[in-house]
Amino acid sequence: MSTVRIGLIQLRCTESREENLRTSEEMLRQAVELGANIVCFPELFTMPYPCQNEDHRQFARAESLDGPTVRWLKECSEKWSIVVIGSIFERRDAGLYHNTAVVCEQGRMLGFYRKTHIPDDPYYYEKFYFTPGDVGYPVFSTRFGRIAVGVCWDQWFPEVARLFALGGAEILFYPTAIGWLLPEKEEFGSTQHAAWETMHRSHAIANGLYVAAANRTGLEGNIEFWGSSLICDPNGVVLARGSFHEPEVLVADCQLEKIDIVRTHWPFLRDRRVDTYEGLLRRSLRP
């Protein structure tokens, strides 16, 4: 059976880009030593989460797709002969910015995905910073398997996971920055976290693929990032789960032949009634 070992880096980010990259490289080395073939970092992993307020100074952190972070990702992928997934604050043009995940393999960039769903919630003011993505839902063919990458808020939308699955993805990654707002944690914290994990497990089940979410951890401003990075198999079984509070390297084996077995026994893709779904293209079906 074809087995791919994937790794997630659960990172605590600091103000220092250089320190974040040093820590990231050491944790990436650990993942490689554990046999990981594909490794994913959290969302915007080289910096503190920048969207807790609307601050024009944050745009100075943005960089291009041929900037230093992408060069670093390519170098790491070549150094260890693996696939590396990283998320950047992309400066596409003057006044045009994206939240972008980049996929690198053996020293080259295979491609990128620009975050499609942009939140605007307390301390997650991403609409101030990011333009919605315009590259659709690409699937990348690596020598280890076909992978797709959504970014954080995308993980709440079943349409995203389904489109990646229809595009041939076998493993779906979500670089993530999610946590508790401190005033809400006591009342809503356990429910919020349970809902988040349930979404990933449901994507895995409904689409018959592997799902992996790499989250950051630690307290940044008003957000306590809850870690809990996880890897799910096509039955929704959690193969690996990180702690709430500590930086960690997680690895798990993905048996790609299992995808066909699960989809044959739970034939959700077979039984889709695509001729009845026109309403999904509308905002509302209420008269």
Q: Which residues are catalytic?
A: 43, 115, 152
How many whole angstroms separate alpha carbon 37 and alpha carbon 168? 19
Instruction: Provide the 3-class DSSP secondary structure of residue 85.
Output: strand
Residue 69, classed as helix, strand or coil, is: helix
Report CA 211 to chain centroid distance, whole Å.
9
- The full length of the chain comes to 287
Q: What is the DSSP string of 46-62?
A: TSS---SS--GGGGGG-
Q: Are 173 and 147 in contact (CB under 8 A)?
A: yes
CA distances for 64 relative to 21, 87, 106, 141, 238, angstroms: 17, 12, 20, 23, 35
Beta bridge partners of 179: 225
Cα 39 to Cα 177: distance, rounded to the nearest angstrom: 17
Measure Cα distances from 87 to 74, 149, 203, 265 in Å.
Answer: 13, 10, 21, 35
DSSP per residue over 217-251, as a string? EEEETTEEEE---EEE-TT--EEEE--SSS-EEEE
Q: Are 6 and 231 in contact (CB under 8 A)?
A: yes
